[in-house]
Structure 1
Amino acid sequence: MRTPRLAGAITPRAQFLRFFKDSTSTILAVFKADGTLAEANRGFLSLLESMPSNTDPAVLFVNPQMAELNRMGEDGRTGLVYRGLMTLGNVDRYTDTWLGTVHRVDRQLLLACEQDIAADRNLRQELFRLTEEYAAKERLLAKTHRELERRTAEVERLTFTDSLTDLPNRRAFDHELEREIARSARYREALSLLIVDLDHFKQVNDRFGHAVGDDVLRAVATSLRAEARQIDTVARWGGEEFAVLVPATETDSARLLAERMRDRIRRTPMPESIAPITASVGVAGWLGPEEGSAGLFKRADEALYKAKHDGRNRVSVAEEEP
C-alpha cells in the first residue's frame, strides 16, 4: 500500500534540485536557442555578479566561448556535445578553470561544471612546495647575509688591526687622530700624544730571534693597554714603536701616564729570561686648531728623539711653541 504524500512535503527529488540550485561549488545553467539565459544556480549567478550590470551571460564563457559551444551539435543531435576544462569568469578581473560538460537538449544548452578537485589539490601541493622553497631560500639568504657580515667585519678588523699585537694599526691610528683633533677643536678640549719606542730592540731579535721578539712586542702591547684608559687609543705604529692618543688630557697628566707606561714596561716579565726591556717616550700636547695631526706627531717624535739622545729609558716632553 503506497504511503500517502503529505501536502507541502518536499520530495527527495525536490531536495536534490534545491541542493544544486543553491550550490556555489558547482555551476549549472540552461541557455535557450537564442543564447539567452533561461535558468541558473547560485554558482553561475555569483560569476555573473562579477560582471558589469546588464552584461550578456554568454561573455562568462572564456574558453571555449559560447559561440563555439553553439556550433557543437548544430547538426541537430542531442546529448553530450562537450566535456573538458572550461574557463569561466570576468577576463578583466578574475577567471577560474572548471571541469565541465555541455549537453544539447531541444536546442537548449545545459551547462554543468564542477571544480577540478585534483587540479586544486595539485595547485595546493605546488603552492606548498613553492612556499617551502621560498622559505629555504630565505634561510639561505639570511645565512649568506650573516656570513657576509662576518667576513666584512673580519676584513675591516684585518684592515685596521695589527695582526701581531691585536692593537689598532697605523692606518686606524691616523683615522682616530684626525677624529680626535676635530673633536677637541669643536669642544675646546686638550689632547696629548705619546710615542713609545723600545730601547735596543734590534739586539733582542739578533740574539734570540724574531719569534722571541714578537713575544716581547705582545707583552709590551699588553702592558700599554693595562695602563691606558678606555677612551685612550693604543696602537702599534710600526716595528718596535707604539703610539698612544690621550683625549681630554693636558700635557702634565700625559707625562705622568707616560712615566707609568715606561715603568710598567720595565717591570713586565719577558720570555727567555731576557733582561728587562726599557722604553723611551716622547710626549706632545696639542697646541690647538692651528696645529694639525702632522705637526702634533712631529713634535712628539722630536721629543722621543730627545729622550733617546739623553740616555733612553726616560720620558721627554715637547716644547709648547706659541
Structure 2
Amino acid sequence: MKENHYSQPNFSPPQVARGKQCQSTPPWQRRLLAFLLLVMALAVPRQTYAGAHFGNIYDGDTYNSRIKHHPTVNEPWITVCFWFYDTWGGDGYFLHDQTEPGHDGPAVYVDGKYICSPDWELSWASGDGNASGLEDQRKYNGWWGGTYTRNVDGVNYTVRFWDPGKKNGQFWVDMVIYMDKMAVATEHEIKIRGKWKLNGDNSNPGGSIQWEERTFRTQAIRNIFSSDSPYYERTYGSLKVTRSSLNTSYGPTTVAMTTDRSYYNNYSGKRYYEPSTMNQAVYKTYSKGASSYNGLTLSYNEEGGSFYLYTQKSINLNSG
C-alpha cells in the first residue's frame, strides 16, 4: 500500500530520549521566556551612528567642501564652499569657544594670518545643537550674516557669507574672501578652525569635543607681468630705468623700487608693502594702457659697494 505523505514515521515520540521522559514546556513559560529575552535585548546598548568630524571629507559624499572660485585679476576674490553643521546621527557643530583670544567661535585665517571669527554664522551650538535654527536660515538667496574686515600687513581683507543651504544632511555656505592687494603667481591658503562637538559616538556617548580644522589652497593668479627685468643706467648715487614693460590690459599699476633688502627677508611671495613705508624707495602709479615705466629714477646709498634692486608691482583693483 502506498504511504501517505502525512503518515508518522515509525520512531519514538520526540519527548522520549535515551530512556528518559521529557516534559513539554507549558505555553505560559514560553511566553515568559520570550518576554525576558526581549527585555535583555533592549538593555544591551545599541550601536550609535556618530556625526561627521569637520576636519574630514564626508564619507561617500561627492559634493565635498572645496574652493568654488579661484581668484583672478578681474575677479580678485576667493569663494570657499563648505559644510559647517552635520545632522546625520549625532549632530556635529562648532562651539562658541574662543579660537582666538577675545573673539568667540571658530576663526578664519588666510596664509596663516588671523582674519575674523564668524561666530554667528558658523556656530549653532544651543543645547545639543540648533539645527532647527539653521533651517530657518535656508534659501536666504543673498548675503547672509555680518561683514568682517581686517587690515593685516597693509592688505585689507573682507569676509562675507552667501546663501546657506542644506544637502545630504549637512548645512553648507559660501564664504567669500576679498583681498584688495593680492600677489600674482602665488597660491593662498584658507583655514577654518574651531572647537567642534560631536554628539553621541560609540567611544563617548555623551559627545566628544575637540579642535578641528580644514585648509583649502587656491590656484595662483597668472603672472600678468611676466618676467620683467628692467634695464637702467647708473650714475653715482642713482639709477634710471631705461627699458621696462607693463601689461597694457591692466591698471592703474603702481611700480615701487628699493635697494633695502630688509623688506624682503620674509617676503615669500605673499606679503605686500605699502610703497610709502618702504625705506629708500621710489614709486609711481601708471594708468591702464601704459606699456613701460621708463624714466623711474631711484636714489641709493653708494656706501657698501654692490646692491640689489627690488621691484614690486601692484594693480589698483578698486578702479581701472
TM-score bracket relative to the smaller structure = under 0.3
Looking at secondary structure, tell me which structure has more strand per residue: 2
Higher RCO (CA < 8 A, seq sep 6+): 2
TM-score, scaled to structure 1 = 0.26
Looking at secondary structure, tell me which structure has more helix per residue: 1
Whichever of the two has the greater Rg, that structure is 1
TM-score, scaled to structure 2 = 0.26
